[in-house]
A and B are shown apart, each in its own frame.
Chain A
Amino acid sequence: MNSRIASELRLPSSALISADAMIRLEDVAVRYRAPEERLGTFKEYAIRRLQRRVRYADFFALDGINLEVRRGEIFGIIGRNGAGKSTLLKVVSRVLVPRRGRLYLGGEVSPLLELGAGFHPELTGRENVMLNGTLLGRTRRELEARMDSIVDFAELGNFIEAPLRTYSSGMAARLGFAVATAWQPDILLVDEVLAVGDEAFQHKCQVRMQTFRDAGTTALIVTHDMVTAAALCARAAWLERGKICSIGPTARVIEDYRAA
C-alpha cells in the first residue's frame, strides 16, 4: 500500500471499522492558527483587536492523513524534524483534537512519551506513583495492587519512602518508566528510542517491551533512526510537511525516504 492508494481509505464516515484496526486515522488535519506577532497579554490582545490588527498565519502540521494500524502491529513513523511526527502522536494520544477527520482507537492508549509527568519533589516516591499513575488514568486500587512490583522494577527499595527531591535523575526516570509500563497496554506510543537509566536497566526495559510485543500490544513508534525502524517495525510511514509521502513495508519506505 502506498500514498496513491490512500484515497481509497477515504471512506464515508459511517463506514464500519474492521475489528482488527487498533488505530485508524481518516483524512486527519491539524491546523495551527497563530497570531503573526506574539500577543503575550490580554491587554496587548485587546488593544490590537481594537485596532483590528490581529493577523493570523495558518500552518498545517498534519494534512489529509490516512492510516490504519492493526492489532499487534509495530508501526513506525519516520521523517525529518518538524515533519509532523510528534503532532501525529499527539493526535493519537488525544492531546490534540484534529480540526478535520476521524480518529478511531480500538483500545486504551498508553503514551510512553512523558515519563514521570506531574512528579512533585516534596512528595515521597510512593505518593508520586499514586499521582503519576492516576494522571495516566489508573485508579488508586489498581496502583496499590501493583505498588510492590513497580517499586521492584524501578529498583528503589527503601528510597520509595523518601521525597522525590532526594532522588537522582536516573532514579526518577526509572520510577516513571516503571509506572508507565506496569500494565500491558492496548496501544503503546513511543517517541524516539527509550534511553532510561544505566545499561542494565535499559536491558530490563527492552525485555519488558519485548514482553508487550509478544503479548500482542500494538505500538506506534516515532524515530529518526532508520536502523531502529527497520529492526522493530514491519510497516512504516514517511511523513514530510504534514503529509504521508510513502507508506508500506519498512524497507521500501526507508528506500523512498533515502531517495528523496
Chain B
Amino acid sequence: MKTETAPRRPQVYDSLKRGPVAVEELRGLIKYRDLIYQLVRRDLVSRYKRSALGIVWTMLNPLGMMVVLSVVFSQLFRTVEGYPAYVLSGLLAWNFFSQTTSAAMTQMVWGSTLLHRIYLPRTTFVVSAIGTGLVNLVLALVPLLLVVIVIGLPLRWTLTFLPVPILLLTAFSLGVGLLFSAWAIYFPDVAEMYQLLLVAWLYMTPVIYPAETIPEAYRYWFFHLNPMYYMVEIFRKPIFSGVLPSFAQLGAAASIAFITLALGWIVFSSRADEFTYRV
C-alpha cells in the first residue's frame, strides 16, 4: 500500500463554528463536485447502457412527441406557421422543467437512504438531477435545430442567446426541485400529487397551443401569474420567432428564477438537518 499522500491540511470540524446551513451546503457542493459529475454520469450511462440506440433516444424522444402533437394539432392551430418548431421548442423547455423537478424528488428519496449512512451535502441529489436534465436538454437541441431547418425556418443569430434562457430555466427548476423534495422526503404521495399538478400546469401554459388561443381579456392574468409562461417564452422566442425576448419578459423571468432559487435553497437548507431524523 502506498503511504505517500499529497499533503493536505487536516479538515477540522466544529459544530459551534458551523455558520448558516445554506452556506455550508454551497461549500459542500464545491468540495463534492466530482460526486455530482459521477451521479450525472451514472444516470446517463445506466439509462443507455443496455439499449442499442443509446444516447440517440434522448434526441428521438422529443422528436416523437413533436410528430404526434404536430399530426394531432397542426390542423387546429393552422394560424401558427411552422407549428412543429413551435411545439418542439416549447416542449423542450417544459420537459426540462417537469423532468428535472420530478427527478429531483425521486433522487432525493433514493438519496435519503444514503444520507442516513454517510455524510454528504444534502443538496447533492437535487443538483445532480438538474445536471442530468441539462445534458439531455443540450442533446435535444440537435434535433430541434434539424426540425427548424427542415421546415424552412431561418437559422438566426438569436440562437446564440439560448444559454441565457437555459440558465434561468435551470435556476427556476432547481428552486422548485429543492422546495418540493424537502417535502417529498417525508411523504411519498407528494411526488404523485406533483405529477397531477404538472398535467394541469402544462395545459395552463402555452406549450402546445399558441398564446393567442386564450381570449385577450383573460390572457394577462392567465399568463402573467404563471412563472412557466415566461420560461417557455424566453426559450422559444430566439428559436422560433428569431427575436430576443423583451427586456420586461427577461427581467420578469430572471426575477422569478432567482427568487425561487433563493427561496428553495433557504427552505431546503433550513430543513436539511432534520432529514436523517426521519425514521
Q: Is the CB–CB distance between A122 and B118 below 8 Å?
A: no
> Which listed residue, B13, B35, B186, touches A94 by the CB 8 Å rule?
B13
Identity of the chain B residue whose Cβ is nearest the Cβ of A182 in the assembled complex: B1
Provided the pairs A94-B13, A104-B14, A122-B49 are in contact, do residues A135 and B34 lie with their beta carbons within 8 angstroms?
no
Q: Is the CB–CB distance between B119 and A94 below 8 Å?
A: yes
Give the distance in Å from the alpha carbon of A118 to the alpha carbon of B35 in the complex: 11
Provided the pairs A32-B277, A102-B16, A122-B45 are in contact, do residues A95 and B187 lie with their beta carbons within 8 angstroms?
no
Q: Is the CB–CB distance between B38 and A134 below 8 Å?
A: yes
> Which listed residue, A33, A42, A208, touches B190 by the CB 8 Å rule?
A42
Q: Which residues of B contact A (CB under 8 A)?
A: 1-3, 5-6, 10-16, 31-32, 34-35, 37-39, 41-42, 45-46, 49-50, 114-120, 183, 186-190, 193, 273, 276-277, 279
The count of A-to-B residue pairs whose CB atoms sit within 8 angstroms is 119
Q: Is the CB–CB distance between A102 and B119 below 8 Å?
A: no
Interface size class of A (residues with CB under 8 A): 35 or more
Give the distance in Å from the alpha carbon of A215 to the alpha carbon of B5 in the complex: 13
Q: Is A177 an interface residue (CB 8 A)?
A: no
Of residues 26 through 82 on chain A, the ones whose CB sits less than 8 Å from some CB of chain B are 32-34, 40-43, 45
Of residues 190 through 217 on chain A, the ones whose CB sits less than 8 Å from some CB of chain B are 208, 211, 215
B11 cross-chain contacts in A, Cβ below 8 A: 105, 107-108, 186
Give the distance in Å from the alpha carbon of A94 to the alpha carbon of B190 in the complex: 28
Provided the pairs A43-B189, A127-B45, A184-B5 are in contact, do residues A97 and B273 lie with their beta carbons within 8 angstroms?
yes
- Distance (Å) between the CB of A158 and the closest chain B CB? 19
Q: Is the CB–CB distance between A146 and B115 below 8 Å?
A: no
Complex interface bits, A119-132 against B, C-beta within 8 A gives 1, otherwise 0:
01011000100110
Q: Is the CB–CB distance between A120 and B12 below 8 Å?
A: no
A102 cross-chain contacts in B, Cβ below 8 A: 14-16
A–B complex contacts, Cβ < 8 Å, 9 sampled: A32-B277, A94-B119, A95-B116, A101-B15, A103-B15, A105-B12, A106-B12, A122-B45, A134-B32
A9 cross-chain contacts in B, Cβ below 8 A: none
> Which listed residue, A13, A120, A135, A139, touches B118 by the CB 8 Å rule?
A135
Q: Is A234 an interface residue (CB 8 A)?
A: no
> Which listed residue, A114, A134, A135, A183, touches B5 by the CB 8 Å rule?
A183
Identity of the chain B residue whose Cβ is nearest the Cβ of A181 in the assembled complex: B1
Q: Is the CB–CB distance between A131 and B38 below 8 Å?
A: yes
- Distance (Å) between the CB of B217 and the closest chain A CB? 36
Give the distance in Å from the alpha carbon of A208 to the alpha carbon of B13 in the complex: 26
Q: Is the CB–CB distance between A42 and B189 below 8 Å?
A: yes
> Which listed residue, A93, A107, A122, touches B10 by the CB 8 Å rule?
A107
Q: Is the CB–CB distance between B38 and A149 below 8 Å?
A: no
Complex interface bits, A80-122 against B, C-beta within 8 A gives 1, otherwise 0:
0000000000100111111001111111110101100110101
Q: Is the CB–CB distance between B277 and A93 below 8 Å?
A: no
Give the distance in Å from the alpha carbon of A211 to the alpha carbon of B32 in the complex: 28
Identity of the chain B residue whose Cβ is nearest the Cβ of A122 in the assembled complex: B46
Of residues 171 through 187 on chain A, the ones whose CB sits less than 8 Å from some CB of chain B are 183-184, 186
Complex interface bits, A221-245 against B, C-beta within 8 A gives 1, otherwise 0:
0000000000000000000000000
Provided the pairs A43-B189, A120-B42, A137-B31 are in contact, do residues A96 and B276 lie with their beta carbons within 8 angstroms?
yes
> Which listed residue, A13, A111, A149, touches B16 by the CB 8 Å rule?
A13
Of residues 142 through 191 on chain A, the ones whose CB sits less than 8 Å from some CB of chain B are 142, 146, 149, 153, 183-184, 186
Q: Is the CB–CB distance between B13 and A104 below 8 Å?
A: yes
Give the distance in Å from the alpha carbon of A105 to the alpha carbon of B32 in the complex: 19
Identity of the chain A residue whose Cβ is nearest the Cβ of B11 in the assembled complex: A108
